[in-house]
């Protein structure tokens, strides 16, 4: 298969396809962002030792996804996209039920790991569905449309989570997860046909797994953007995990937390919209290069602000700086993933799995490492941004400058 060909022509209209894929992939964001306003409440109820243990409810979720993606990647290449999605949603529901009955932090974290393992099914298979039908700049454009819808979840989910804990128990946040996952699964099952023909399926074998893994992990145009994605998302995840601590604990915004979080999430949504307009004209590599310079300037400015204001700039200044910086982060998300997926052809399933797993394996310890230094100021966040955005630019620069390597046919 060449870079420009795809396995199947789209069956759904673009609007419905984008909405369905956005809701499918947004289960990850919903499972994280709706929890944010409740982290302190859950930590107190389950006997968390400190704020860093409560942060694990978010950061360990991505650790569970790292293993889930490695399972569901080969599975959806061997058994098809639909079966992987339905199995993953079933496991997600099981994990959600464990979280609902948790009476200690250990049980809660086990439930979150099961949830994360399960949600990897729809996460990986939906990426493969998109790659089955689109390639290159067209895929980056579709991913940007999906991100535009997807970003509404981080904007709305904390408000919903805050409303739930204000009128009912935090356990009903998990009731919300059950309702949404069931609805999305039914929608997909009824409306979206299988996109991987039987003749193109790859029966699982360890020999094939290692051959495919070797191709993926030694392909410059896959491994560079994957490691870059892990660095970028790891730094960003440190902010997400600690966002309640930052805005409620450091800045004392109280019930305004959900609106502050939504304001900053809107920046990423705006970036995704802009990317959908410019990526077909400029190309994803040029946009990625520009965005990398943007995040480096942003993180350097943030460090300077930390020095001037002893680690805690005035809230309006911090919000303006973060809004501008997250715009460039938003440009990176869809494009880095599309660049990494571009050479994979029929290996889209296992490719999405390894890309997602490796980027999670990198991002989780990055986020936990940054958050471990968080005490009463934003120095760790600012310095972490500067270090890991710089590393991202370093590892992806050869891919951005070089001619494409051969793709897997």
CA distances, 196 to each of 86, 140, 187, 200, 296 (Å): 15, 20, 19, 6, 40
Per-residue pLDDT at 1 exceeds 50: no
Question: Per-residue DSSP letters for 220-243?
Answer: HHHHHHHHHHHHHHHHHHHHHHHH
CATH 1.20.1250.20 fits domain 15-194+204-401: yes
pLDDT class of 403 with cuts at 50, 70, 90: low
Per residue in 295-332, pLDDT (tens digit) is 999 999 999 999 999 999 999 999 999 999 999 998 99
Q: How many C-beta atoms surround the C-beta of residue 297 within 10 A? A: 14
Per the CB < 8 A criterion, the answer to whether 125 and 247 are in contact is no
Q: What are phi and psi of 190, to 5 degrees?
A: -80, -35
User: Would you state the torsion angle of the CA atoms of residues 68, 73, 75, 78, taken in this order, to the nearest 10 degrees?
Assistant: 180
Q: Assess contact for 348 and 329: CB atoms under 8 A.
A: no
Every domain of the chain and the residues it spans: 15-194+204-401
| The pLDDT value given to residue 309 | 96
- Each residue's pLDDT tens digit, 216-249: 788 888 889 999 999 999 999 999 988 988 999 8
pLDDT digits (tens, 9 = 90+) for 32-87: 889 998 888 898 888 877 777 888 898 889 889 888 988 888 888 888 899 999 99
Q: Do residues 96 and 174 make contact, with C-beta atoms less than 8 angstroms apart?
A: yes
Average pLDDT, the chain: 86
DSSP string, 294-324: HHHHHHHHHHHHHHHTTT---HHHHHHHHHH
Neighbours of 53 (CB within 10 A): 15
> How many CB atoms sit inside 10 A of residue 265's CB?
24
Higher-confidence position of 407 and 402:
402
Contact 389, 235 (CB under 8 A): yes
Of these ranges, 93-102, 347-356, 367-376, the one predicted with the greatest mean pLDDT is: 93-102
Question: Inter-axis angle of helices 105-133 and 315-341, to 10 degrees?
Answer: 50
């Amino acid at each position: 298969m060449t870079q420009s060909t795809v396995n199947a022509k789209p069956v759904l209209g673009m609007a419905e396809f984008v909405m369905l894929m956005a809701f499918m992939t947004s289960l990850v964001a919903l499972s994280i962002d709706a929890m944010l306003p409740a982290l302190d409440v859950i930590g107190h109820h389950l006997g968390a030792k400190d704020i860093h243990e409560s942060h694990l409810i978010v950061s360990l979720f991505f650790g569970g996804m790292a293993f889930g993606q490695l399972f569901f990647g080969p599975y959806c290449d061997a058994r098809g996209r639909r079966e992987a999605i339905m199995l993953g949603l079933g496991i997600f529901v099981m994990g959600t039920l464990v979280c609902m009955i948790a009476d200690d932090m250990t049980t809660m974290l086990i439930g979150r790991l099961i949830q994360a393992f399960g949600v990897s099914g729809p996460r990986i298979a939906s990426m493969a569905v998109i790659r089955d039908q689109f390639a290159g700049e067209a895929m980056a454009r579709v991913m940007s449309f999906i991100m535009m819808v997807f970003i509404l979840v981080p904007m709305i989910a904390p408000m919903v989570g805050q409303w739930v804990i204000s009128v009912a128990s935090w356990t009903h946040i998990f009731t919300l997860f059950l309702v949404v996952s069931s609805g999305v699964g039914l929608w997909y099952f009824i409306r979206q046909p299988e996109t991987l023909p039987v003749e193109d399926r790859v029966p699982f074998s360890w020999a094939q797994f290692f051959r495919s893994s070797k191709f993926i992990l030694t392909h410059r145009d896959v491994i560079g953007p994957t490691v870059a994605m892990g660095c970028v998302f790891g730094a960003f995840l440190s902010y997400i995990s600690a966002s309640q601590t930052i805005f409620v604990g450091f800045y004392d915004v109280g019930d305004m937390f959900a609106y502050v979080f939504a304001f900053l999430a809107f920046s990423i949504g705006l970036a995704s919209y802009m990317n959908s307009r410019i990526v077909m004209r400029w190309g994803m590599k040029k946009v990625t290069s520009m965005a990398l310079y943007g995040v480096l300037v942003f993180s350097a400015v943030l460090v300077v602000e930390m020095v001037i204001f002893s680690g805690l700039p005035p809230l309006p200044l911090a919000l303006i700086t973060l809004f501008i910086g997250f715009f460039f982060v938003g440009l990176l998300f869809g494009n880095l993933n599309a660049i990494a997926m571009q050479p994979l052809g029929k290996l889209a399933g296992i490719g999405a799995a390894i890309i997602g797993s490796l980027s999670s394996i990198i991002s989780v310890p990055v986020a936990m490492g940054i958050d471990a230094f968080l005490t009463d100021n934003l120095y760790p966040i600012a310095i972490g941004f500067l270090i890991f955005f710089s590393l991202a630019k370093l590892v992806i620069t050869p891919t951005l400058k070089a001619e494409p390597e051969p793709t897997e046919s």
